[in-house]
Chain A
Amino acid sequence: MGLAVECNALVKDFGDVRALDGLSFQVKNGEIYGLIGPNGAGKTTALRIVSTLLLPTSGSVKVFGQDVVDDASEIRRVISYLPEEAGAYKNLSGYEYLEFMAKFTTEDKEVIKESVDVAARISGLEERLKDKVKTYSKGMKRRLLVARALMTKPKLAVLDEPTSGLDVLHSVHVRGLIKQYVENQGVTVLLSSHNMLEVEHLCDRVALIDKGKIVAEGSPAELKKSVNASNLEEVFAKVVGFV
């Protein structure tokens, strides 16, 4: 099994602020890997670097063996990134938005149509896709964006808090879809989350990040065992040290 993401001694400075401080982790092909950690831990920064939006200050990140600095355009062809706080073009309809996005990955009309259909199913928006995005609620917009991130069957989906803003039912729906996608389509997922329950059910492996460094890594079961905790929330509290 090859590596989807290989992050090595990654450092990122924003002026005087060190957001990532020697972060290293590896995501295997076909797994769901979660980054969890308190606010400001550096999750979003790490995902943005993997997605070629930000440049590392030092260290290296490889996606399917290609370097985020030197081969950014190759990486962009195989990933899709769902930002933590994202919007869609408000004067386009949901369909128009999905079609616009699908056209970047292929020119084949059939494939575009297929992608949009997939997205319609994932989002569960149905008839509302004909309406302008500006008429959507926050959760509807999030579902549209999650759908667009998955519809093109990227080799790696980078999802920054995919279920933030979704109600319980839709969170469960989206989680189920992500899991199903990884199993059926061979998609690799790198995600971040605050929701321990979500991470525990969804992720094959997780990394606990604090102040830009990994403080614990492993499968949810391994982590619980190592610190003798009954759930990930407890692991988190013990490792970060506020019990």
Chain B
Amino acid sequence: MFKGLFNIIVKEVKELVRDPKILLGMIIVPLIMFPLMGFAIQTSMETAEESMRSISIAVMDLDEGPVAENLTNFLIALNVIIVEVDYLNFTEAVNYVQQLNVTGLVVIPSGFSNNITEGLKAELDVYTVFRGGGIVESTSSSMISALFETFEEGLVVQKVGEKFPETRETVLNPIEMSEKSIIKGKPVNVNPSVLFGLMVLQSTGMPVGIMMLLIFAMQLAATSVASEKEEKTLETLLTLPINRFTILAGKLTGSIVVAVIGAAAYIVGFNYYMSSFMGMMPTEIGVDLATIGLAPTPISYLLLGVSLFVSLLSALALAISISIFAEDVRGAQALVGPLSMLLVFPMIIMMFTDVYALPFPLMIVLLAIPFTHPMLASKVAFTGDYLTAVIGIAYVSIFTIVVLYIAARLFGTEKILTAKLKFRKLRFRKLKK
């Protein structure tokens, strides 16, 4: 019996891996698309950075006082290219700015310097020139406001220093706040926003990865069942001296083998993709996760692995049972497609909130979906709540066995050959009414 199983697995893997469509999906997307996406994002980021460095501002100085001059010098000191337009009226200045491809326009009204030295509020009009409205422009706009805020801060520090020459620091910053966290009941000296950043990485990265693996495996399983019908090999297969459950198991295992190969390619590609952003993120978070108990322990790794595996099986069993009703590969993939909604739904919810914080009925619905559980299990490292993971694994296992049993029953009867016709008849009857 095992000999037959191995024979089938080998054949499934050969068939799937040699299928040009599947091969494309496994190579093109992860190994070419991801790096390309990464490259595109990286290049546009670099362009944005580039244009930030070369910010140019038109200055219309109607004040010509000392503070206005200070402001201009401050901008020049920060490598901002200054274009003076004070000899024009405002409309002319705007036209000029438009033509010259300048990032912004500052209008310093007369009396600006005077108001500031007198201790009154001074006005300043800062325009950002809109052109395409892309990311580059939004960053240069915030760059401009940051520049003026820095200048304003400098004024504040200067004024405070004049009033309180000894205690300037404490007046400006009267409270020294230090932010810490409590994790698993233990206080740790780590800023919570750092931890939240980590959790976001985990709670988006994991579900996305899990979802891609599951959807890919489901498509493979559906393909491997439906192609037996499409290629008219099923009848021969079903008359061979081999247990039909073994055929099913062979298809499941073959799909898993290929899905794991595909997942490896995805991980390589996705890593490359993520590493294109790494330059923009603080590389060292300066926290040793293991010492504060946030690094996954061997047990949580094991639980996550088992949880992933049983939900992979449940996904495949679902995909196989459904694709029995399809008459060709395309039909099977169309039938399996809506199943991925079952994956997306928990993923979206889990990315934004905690399952247990949901209204009760919604929580039940979510927990009934097997694919919620590996995502829950991926949070075990943060919560230390092993029980939830174990219960999840038990539930998904039972779910899988029930579905596998139904799939095997369908495989074991003549329904696999006639199901499609019944399906059609039902539709026909409905139409007649």
Contact = CB atoms under 8 A, between A and B. Distances in A.
Given A91-B14, A100-B7, A85 B232 contact: yes
B11 A104 contact: no
A1 interface: no
A234 interface: no
B235 A88 contact: no
A38 interface: no
A193 interface: no
A92 interface: yes
A157 to B, nearest CB: 11
B412 to A, nearest CB: 10
B4 A104 contact: yes
Given A89-B231, A100-B11, A104-B7, A80 B417 contact: no
A216 interface: no
Kindly state the interface size class of chain B when it binds its partner. 20 to 34
B289 to A, nearest CB: 46
Contacts of A88: 231, 233
Interface in B1-31: 3-4, 7, 11, 14-15, 18-19
Given A92-B15, A103-B7, A86 B242 contact: no
A220 to B, nearest CB: 28
Nearest to B238: A53
Contacts of B242: 76, 104
A145 B232 CA distance: 12
A158 to B, nearest CB: 8
Contacts of A85: 232
Q: Is the interface of A mostly helix, strand, loop or mixed?
A: loop
B178 interface: no
Contacts of B4: 103-104
A191 to B, nearest CB: 15
B240 to A, nearest CB: 5
A55 B14 contact: no
B14 A104 contact: no
Contacts of A96: 11, 14
Contacts, number: 75
B418 interface: yes
Interface string A95-117: 01000110111010000000000
A15 B421 CA distance: 10
B241 A76 contact: yes
A79 B232 contact: no
B181 interface: no
A76 B243 CA distance: 10
B353 interface: no
A60 interface: no
A89 B15 contact: yes
B14 A92 contact: yes
A25 to B, nearest CB: 20
A12 B5 CA distance: 33
Contact of B18 (A53, A87, A91): A91
Interface in B212-264: 231-233, 235-236, 238-243
Contacts of B235: 48, 53, 81, 83, 86
Given A54-B414, A87-B232, A89-B231, 5 more contacts: A15-B425, A85-B232, A88-B231, A96-B14, A103-B7
Interface of B: 3-4, 7, 11, 14-15, 18-19, 231-233, 235-236, 238-243, 413-414, 417-418, 421-422, 425
Interface of A: 14-15, 48, 51-55, 73, 76-77, 79-83, 85-92, 96, 100-101, 103-105, 107, 132, 145
